Structure 1
Amino acid sequence: MAELTAAAPSTARPIDDLGVRRDFPLLRREVHGHPIVYLDSASSSQRPQAVLDAMRDYEETTHANVHRGVYAIAEEATRRFEAARAAVGRFIGAPDPAHEVVFTKNATEALNLVAHSWGRSNLDPGDVIVLTEMEHHANIVPWHILAAERDLEIRWIPVDEEGRLVLADLDRLLDGAKVLGVTCMSNVLGTVNPVAELADAAHEAGAVVVADGAQSVPHLVTDAPALGVDFLAFSAHKMLGPTGIGALWGRREILESLPPFLGGGEMILDVRKDGFVPNEIPWRFEAGTPPIAEAVGLAAAVEYLYGLGMPAVRQHERALTDYALAALRDRYPDLVIHGPLDTTVRGGVISFNYKDVHP
């Protein structure tokens, strides 16, 4: 597939609302005498019991550092950590998960890794960065920092009143560009962007494509290589996993050309008084003790989502979004809803203004 699958097939297996809800312990709580209705998953999702159990099992039976010891539980911990990497890679269609998936603290760190490691190696004064006006700060601020250091130009793809990218001047904006940063799905507008189309245009112009998948990977069928992007960043805590871990997928040939992002243990093969030899990828970018229990939890989250089926997840969320948009517009005619109303090109995020109330 050459695009994020925004519209799921109608044959997807339906999701059992109540059955899924029972999988999430926190949702059994009541607040002010009412069951929790959690509407903040765009910020951080809740975790199913399977994720909590996997992390507890690791802590109780396998807790040890990875890639260091040769005793039994250390080797088992390493196997579980690398199995988690493989599971995450398969989930996003990585052809070589063992080398192309870098574990990070979150999507923000993953995007900073690209800006600092790739950017500092490839961008010179006067070079052009192209971003969209709907980017998360994590895909803006690192480029601003780099632009200030290197005297780079940042150009912006505008957003129209419907919350869609204005692509009429795309060729002009990309002319001479070295990098395009684009969110797959807006965390404010819910807009699902035409990433494959943008990636094709960017590559034609000679630019590398850095995609923010923090909102899209948890909700859409994702095939990173087929999208045409060169880097894809996302976080575990938005896809039913724990906080403290995210991932960066990068094309192997690009990752192999990059210097380390952070220095310390594990990211080196050899250290001497006169220098060091960096490790192979992906460990070159994973300095220090990694979030091991969190990686195990992320793998469990991936397996849980596989069990639901991502086409079914998309179909279910689209039905809920259609219902919510219609209900809001019907009951509150003065409500201004931001982003596309067509749910084939939007996710479940709904932002709105009401009359003169400041957001």
Structure 2
Amino acid sequence: MPHAGQHTDSDLADGGLNARLAGMLPDIVQQMASRVERGEVARYIPPLARIDPRKFGIAVVLRDNSVLVAGDADEEFSIQSISKVFSLTLALGKKGDGLWSRVGREPSGDAFNSIVLLEHEKGVPRNPFINAGAIVIADVLLATHQPKEAIGEILRFVQSLADDDRISVDRHVAQAEMATGFANAALANLLKANGNLDNLPTHVLGVYHHQCALSMSCRQLARAGFFLTSGGRHPVTCRQVVAPERTRRISALMMTCGHYDGSGDFAFRVGVPAKSGVGGGILAIVPGIASIAVWSPGLNQQGNSLLGTEALEILCRQMNWSVF
């Protein structure tokens, strides 16, 4: 069996990957349906607290642009922190490596919304995927824009990557996050106090909360993430979205920081770069082979999808997909 980045002639010529996945994905959905322990939905964001924890969907996009789906793969959900992959990509396009003077590239070892390290390290977040780091990224994207313009830029970028203009921001989720995001407000104010926000915290938080409220299905999310699988090329137009070197760097951060203080365990169990969100979604990248999106709303103690992680572990083990 090939490792990530390798293919057999039969896989490429005969659609072997498609055939195997077509039989495997429904089986994974069935296995997940039988699980008693499903984790806990994110109750601190009221609209997410109402999501049925029995939901489960999975989608895989292959390099020939074929899409295989199973379960609730076409039901939209709040992608939350998965949006940080796309905002980081945009910010790197604007600032290049100058971005790293404002945010680090190391795992935090703490919860995604922790304020402790930010205070200790004088307002420089450990990485762009914890909340403090993503707030700095939102500040970069805001720049000279009005908040609505920055939100629109992020939305159009994701729509373009997925080749789907139906993708939208869930206004109810965004409003709920603005009304309850006191911890994020504390992070933004501490960043501002340390000189690491150029714009007003309220404006930056408006951008950040709206990007987290992007609503997508597994099918749309897997398509939007495919540029990281294909060396930065758009799956439909084949235009270069970002340079291959930059896709490798984004994928490296997904591997080391994409699951917060659960990133090491995810790498150990699954072995591919991935980014989670408290809406229960996970975007996983198998370089050169596939983009995978899975959704199961119940979370583990680190705020990552419990069954989504298990499903990816099963899939990657059976397909022998790993970067190691």
| TM above 0.5 | no
Q: Which structure's relative contact order is higher, taking Cα pairs within 8 Å and 6+ residues apart?
A: 2
Larger radius of gyration: 1
Greater strand proportion: 1
